[in-house]
A and B are shown apart, each in its own frame.
Chain A
Amino acid sequence: MTPIRGFLKGKDLFGLIGISNLAIIATVIIIVAILGIEGLRIFIKEGVNFISTSVWSGVRERYGILFALGGTLITGVMAISIALVMAVASSITIVEILPRRLKPLISSLVDLSASIPTVIYGLWGLFVLAPLLANIAENPLLSALKSYLGSPGSLGTSLFTGSILLSIMISPFATAIVREALYSVPKYVDEALYSLGLTRFEVIMLKVRYIRRAILVAAMVAYGRAVGETIAVSMVVGNVVNPEFWKILNPGYTIASLIADQYQNAESYYYMVPAIFGAALILFAIGLAVNIAVIAISRGARYGD
């Protein structure tokens, strides 16, 4: 077949579309490569100290992102915990409790919250959530937990505020997954359980247990989004090097907010740019690990249960 006739028949041309696939793959590879290449210098300079110490000084060219790593992990874990509770509760409400006409409305509301631009969440977090939490944190309860959770008199911008905001932002994603899973529980399971004489709540709880793999997947998807969230978090997390990152009522940094905050002036120092890229690489590695775990678990689901 001559090239022209082949072209007219569209025969060989289909392969050309593959260029877009290559473009996508190349983009991902370039991104990771740049992170690695630029970040390499800081790993050479600081070694393991980069992730085991807490310091960020341009003047002395010392960088250790333990505080940010801790911030990311703690806010992430707290956010998923809350988000999971929300997701399960919302899914139960939507799938099991709501009358048919309300289902799409509430569902849509949940999905809507996923499409709100993050900077608007940040705005609300900064001007509404942070002052609210500051007022709550001022009360006597805190003095009791004082040394464990942070210093009193906080502004409201803290790792805790960041966690709450994150959970609000990521729960729609978790909800979507759990909701789908709950919908797709086969009817015969329902019928079997009811025929055993269980109350509605007990049936629901068993169904939740039935879809536990999906819940795990939801948790990990939510976590992936949480570690990557930058702008909203950087507006409410306080942006302070806080080596004791478990004191969540104090302001702190997450890796993402550290990058957003510090990148702009990084080039006036020798090692700050590599430190930033190194931190981004770590962040990416965390996300990747979580992603792989998701795939592994959902693969297992096909054969399990």
Chain B
Amino acid sequence: METRILRSYAGLALAVVITVAGLTPLIHLIAVVAVNGVKAISKNFPGFFFEERAIPGSEAIGGVGPYIVGTLILTTVASLIGIPISILAAVYTTQSVRTRLGPITSTFVRTMIEFPTIVVGLTVYGVLRILDLGLQAIGLHSPIPRFSALSGSIALAIIMTPFIYSQVEVSLREVPTHLREAVYSLGGSRLISSYILLRYVKASILAGIGIGVGKAMGETAPLLFTAFGSEYYPSGGLEALLKPIGALTLGIYTMALSGYSNWVEASWGAAFMLLAISIALFTAIRIISSRG
């Protein structure tokens, strides 16, 4: 056979081999996390989901209950803040006419995606600290806590915003012009027309929300200086938002880097849970996108 044809086959084979090599770490990672995670959870089933962290260095593997609740609370509050802002901003950007606010926002959002997430956490902490010191300087009693679930949620909301915004913006722009014209010709205000358009791209928006929520759930660095971490279930009603809180990601980070074998084991269990939720979310987004 001609060398050119041989080279062609070789090249194609190389591409496939590299691809497989590249996907192997992912498969291996999922496998390792699953195996170690299930092993860890089975040591304390179902207590693993409710109990608090075990004493370091002991035999017990304990549980990650408070972390799960922490992640849920942080993600929920972050979503409550981030989702409306992202969607409304994207709507404004795509539907506004005579103003430059929209394009400017888009440019800023693009830089946001580049932010190291730790910087976001850092600045939220910094802002709160300045406010706190400022209020005290004026002589007012400052209710601003340094570490709180709320500041953690704000940091997460900042991180999720660019993803949701971009998704909504792109999908609104892709609505065929004749459809947009039709909607506007119905005579409603811009608000109502925007609402109709949003419903039209519902699937895409849900996908974007899914991506944003997934990102928020999986972040660690921004929580280091905001939520701080806690080993206990949040209590006290809404006040709990103003106190430090734990999260699955923080727990994994702390426990994995410690030298205690029971903590390391527990971190695999927590990692498995986090991974399972992430994959479930990912699959759900895929299904929604393909249906819609």
| From A38, A97, A118, A276, contact of B16 by CB (8 A) | A97
Q: Name the A residues within 8 Å of B126 (CB-CB).
A: 34, 38, 277
Give the distance in Å from the alpha carbon of A235 to the alpha carbon of B271 in the complex: 15
Asked if A23 contacts B127 (CB within 8 A), the reply is no
| Interface presence of A89 (CB below 8 A) | yes
- Number of A interface residues at 8 Å Cβ cutoff, please give it: 83
Asked if B225 contacts A263 (CB within 8 A), the reply is yes
Closest to A38 in B: B126
Per-residue CB proximity of A227-263 to B under 8 Å, as 1/0? 1111100010000000000000000000010011001
Give the distance in Å from the alpha carbon of A93 to the alpha carbon of B20 in the complex: 10
| Interface presence of B175 (CB below 8 A) | no
Asked if A21 contacts B116 (CB within 8 A), the reply is no
Residue of A17, A200, A224, A264 most packed against chain B (CB within 10 A): A17
Q: Looking at the assembled complex, report how far the CB atom of A90 sits from the nearest CB atom of chain B, in whole angstroms.
A: 5
| Interface presence of A106 (CB below 8 A) | yes
Per-residue CB proximity of A16-57 to B under 8 Å, as 1/0? 011111111101101100110010000000000000000000
Per-residue CB proximity of A108-128 to B under 8 Å, as 1/0? 111111011111111110111
| Interface presence of A180 (CB below 8 A) | no
Closest to A117 in B: B218
Q: Name the B residues within 8 Å of A34 (CB-CB).
A: 123, 126-127
Asked if A280 contacts B253 (CB within 8 A), the reply is no
| Interface presence of B220 (CB below 8 A) | yes
| Interface presence of B102 (CB below 8 A) | yes
Asked if B190 contacts A20 (CB within 8 A), the reply is no
Per-residue CB proximity of B107-123 to A under 8 Å, as 1/0? 01111111111111011
Asked if B8 contacts A202 (CB within 8 A), the reply is yes
Closest to A94 in B: B19
Grouping DSSP codes into helix (H, G, I), strand (E, B) and loop, the B interface class, with mixed when no group exceeds half, is helix
Given contacts A85-B18, A89-B18, contact A110 B268 (CB under 8 A): no
Closest to A128 in B: B32
| Interface presence of B12 (CB below 8 A) | yes
Give the distance in Å from the alpha carbon of A9 to the alpha carbon of B193 in the complex: 11
Given contacts A34-B127, A117-B218, A228-B114, contact A112 B249 (CB under 8 A): no
Per-residue CB proximity of B83-120 to A under 8 Å, as 1/0? 01110110111011001011011001111111111111
Give the distance in Å from the alpha carbon of A23 to the alpha carbon of B84 in the complex: 12
| Interface presence of A162 (CB below 8 A) | no
Closest to A33 in B: B123
Q: Looking at the assembled complex, report how far the CB atom of A177 sits from the nearest CB atom of chain B, in whole angstroms.
A: 13
Asked if A27 contacts B84 (CB within 8 A), the reply is no
Asked if A291 contacts B110 (CB within 8 A), the reply is yes
Per-residue CB proximity of A269-305 to B under 8 Å, as 1/0? 0000000110010011001101100010000000000
Asked if A230 contacts B18 (CB within 8 A), the reply is no
Q: Name the B residues within 8 Å of A121 (CB-CB).
A: 29
Stretch at the interface among B40-48, B132-140, B279-287: B279-287
Residue of A113, A119, A256, A263 most packed against chain B (CB within 10 A): A119
Give the distance in Å from the alpha carbon of A79 to the alpha carbon of B78 in the complex: 31
Give the distance in Å from the alpha carbon of A256 to the alpha carbon of B121 in the complex: 12
| Interface presence of A10 (CB below 8 A) | yes
Residues of A within 8 A of B (CB): 9-11, 13-14, 17-25, 27-28, 30-31, 34-35, 38, 85-86, 88-90, 92-94, 96-97, 106, 108-113, 115-124, 126-129, 168, 171, 199-202, 204-205, 224-225, 227-231, 235, 256, 259-260, 263-264, 276-277, 280, 283-284, 287-288, 290-291, 295
Could you list 11 further interchain pairs (A-B, Cβ under 8 angstroms) beyond the known A92-B12, A118-B218, A123-B268? A14-B96, A21-B104, A28-B111, A119-B253, A120-B275, A124-B32, A199-B4, A199-B7, A276-B122, A280-B116, A295-B110
A-B interface, 4 closest residue pairs, ranked by CB to CB distance from nearest: A117-B218, A10-B189, A201-B8, A89-B18
Can you spell out 26 A-B residue pairs with CB atoms less than 8 angstroms apart?
A11-B189, A14-B190, A17-B191, A20-B84, A21-B92, A21-B102, A22-B101, A92-B12, A106-B23, A109-B26, A112-B26, A115-B211, A119-B220, A121-B29, A122-B253, A123-B33, A124-B33, A127-B32, A200-B8, A202-B8, A228-B115, A235-B253, A259-B122, A291-B110, A291-B111, A291-B114
